[in-house]
Structure 1
Amino acid sequence: MIRAVLLASAGMFVVATSSMAADVMYETAAPSGYDWSGFYIGINGGYGWGNSDTSTSVPTGSNINAVASALAVGTGDGSFDSDGGLAGVQFGYNYQSGPYVVGVEADIDWSGMDGSRDSGIFSLGGFNARTTDDLDMNVLATLRGRLGYAADRLLIYGTGGVAWSDAEISRNLDWSFADGCPPVGGGLQRCHVGSEDFDFGYTIGAGLEYAFLDNLTAKVEYQYTDFGTESFRTINANIPNQPLDHEVDLDMHTVRVGLNYKFN
């Protein structure tokens, strides 16, 4: 439900900005100087960094005992950072009337963003436990509206829309109970293993673009992207009726520079 609201809000932003710009353009004459109208294609590169909060809870009806429950929750609650490089391509279309520019842009980037978390060993009642998390993102793509103000060859713009990634969170819970799960050393057994994907989210940002030649422009752009919270359940690998519920969220920031070729 939350994801649907976010995606709908992002879509309404694109429609609203386009409508607003169209109303202004209808009343404003075309400027002299550089014309931003037209299709373009380009390349970009930059850096992204993000944060994830994690939690674990014991669902009603689980037969996990009190000590195991406390260890699972204690090691499962936390946060960690992720970061990495970005490189990819973008294409889009701008329409200008007066100093106002409205457009739409899509991009797809290879992402080197990753991050990990190790809770360390928690001890309680003579037993030990540890939870580890790993986040990996290889692709990041967005589809956005753009609304800007042009001062001849300089364009200042805001942007917003939807984002997609192949980001995946993997979680392992190891503990020292004699459950017959695969051993991982240190007297621990890997009894709960799970993963979940982050698919769609929303993104907003702003940027500057400059046309240093008639057909070549350069830009720098910041975006904030939120993929919301994902929930998943793990099952004890060897003991029945011992599920655990997990939640992990992901939001990130990116700064990218780009080079565009504009078709006349």
Structure 2
Amino acid sequence: MKTATSLAALALVAAGPALAGNLEPTPVEPVVATPVPVVAVGRDWTGGYAGLQLGYGNLDAGGALGEDGDGAIGGVHAGYDYDFGRYVLGVGVDYEATDISLGGGAGDMDSLARLKLRGGIDLGQTLVYGTGGAAYADAIGNEDTGYFVGIGAERMIRENVSLGGEVLYHDFDDFDDTDVDLEATTVAARLSFKF
């Protein structure tokens, strides 16, 4: 009997703290999650650039000649862009030597030079843009000016290096009063160094 009484007393002592106080469970405060700010990893396109381009050109000589030709193009470019946040505006120049000969011995296009305006959308590490401006060509033994329009894209591949491409359409009406209308389409890959 002594053992039974001892066990009963021990059970009461052990259960004592569980019975003390309020019988309702203690409320648990809800955990409020702090939102994590989303930081866009962007690029400020403001600044100068210079680089090289290499590609392909197609030349159509309508009017008095009625010939066409195609060949390699390559050259240099430079410019300056200003980043307005979502949009980028810039100016630039480029020069390309060409290896385009018209059929039937009608002549060659030796070079193209351009004075450019470009405007695009800043997508962080990528810039997509439209471009246009004045073009100057040395072709079929003459020189003249015209215009060009096109589209391009550029992607940062290193801190100050970008890789891109452009497709440009050029128009030279009545090229140097020769009754020849020249139209040239060029596609070029561009490697640019930012500074």
- The equivalent residue for 1:163 is 135
What SS is found at the alignment partner of 1:113?
Answer: strand
- Residues 152-172 of structure 1 show CA distances to partners (whole Å, capped at 9, x for unaligned) of 001000000000111125xxx
1:1-264 → structure 2 map (5 Å cutoff): 33-55=42-64, 79-117=66-104, 134-168=106-140, 197-230=142-175, 247-263=179-195
Bigger drift between 79-88 and 145-154 goes to 79-88
Mapped partners of 1:40, 1:230: distance in 2: 32
Instruction: For 2:110 and 2:60, locate their aligned partners in 1 and report how far apart those are by CA, in whole Å.
Output: 16
Q: 1:209 & 1:231 partners in 2: Cα distance?
A: 34
Preserved contact between residue 198 and residue 227 of structure 1 (Cα < 8 Å): no
Cα 1:91–1:231 change in 2 (3 A) is closer
SS in 2 for 1:199: strand
- Say if 2:61 and 2:181, in contact at 8 Å, map to a contact too: yes
CA RMSD of aligned residues (A): 1.7
User: Once superposed, which parts of structure 1, at least 4 consecutive aligned residues long, lie more than 4 Å away?
Assistant: none
8 A Cα contact 1:88 1:107, kept in partner: yes
Q: CA deviation at 1:93?
A: 0.3
Secondary structure at the aligned position of 2:103 is classed as strand
Q: Following TM superposition, by how much is the alpha carbon of 1:50 offset from its aligned partner in structure 2, in angstroms?
A: 1.7
* Cα offset, 1:198, TM superposition: 3.9
Amino acid aligned to 1:85: A
1:49-87 CA-to-partner distances (Å, cap 9, x unmatched) read: 0211233xxxxxxxxxxxxxxxxxxxxxx6211111101
Q: Which has the higher contact order (CA 8 A, sep 6+)?
A: 1
Counterpart of 2:32?
A: none
How far, CA to CA, are the matches of 1:104 and 1:256 in structure 2?
18
Alignment match, 2:22: none
Q: How many residues align?
A: 156
Letter in 2 for 1:114: S
Contact conserved, 2:78 with 2:94, CA < 8 A, in 1? yes
Letter in 2 for 1:199: D
Whole-angstrom distance in 2 between the partners of 1:141 and 1:42 = 15
In the alignment, the residues of structure 1 paired with residue 49 and residue 72 of structure 2 have an alpha-carbon distance, to the nearest angstrom, of 24
Q: CA deviation at 1:32?
A: 5.7
Separation in 1 of the partners of 2:181 and 2:43? 43
Provide the C-alpha distance between the structure 1 equivalents of 2:42 and 2:176, rounded to a whole number of angstroms.
53
TM-score where L is the length of structure 2 = 0.75
- Asked if 1 retains the 8 angstrom alpha-carbon contact of 2:144 and 2:175, the reply is no
Unaligned runs of 5+ in 2: 1-39
For residue 204 of structure 1, give the secondary structure of its aligned residue in structure 2: strand
3-state secondary structure, aligned to 2:173: strand
Structure number, greater radius of gyration? 2
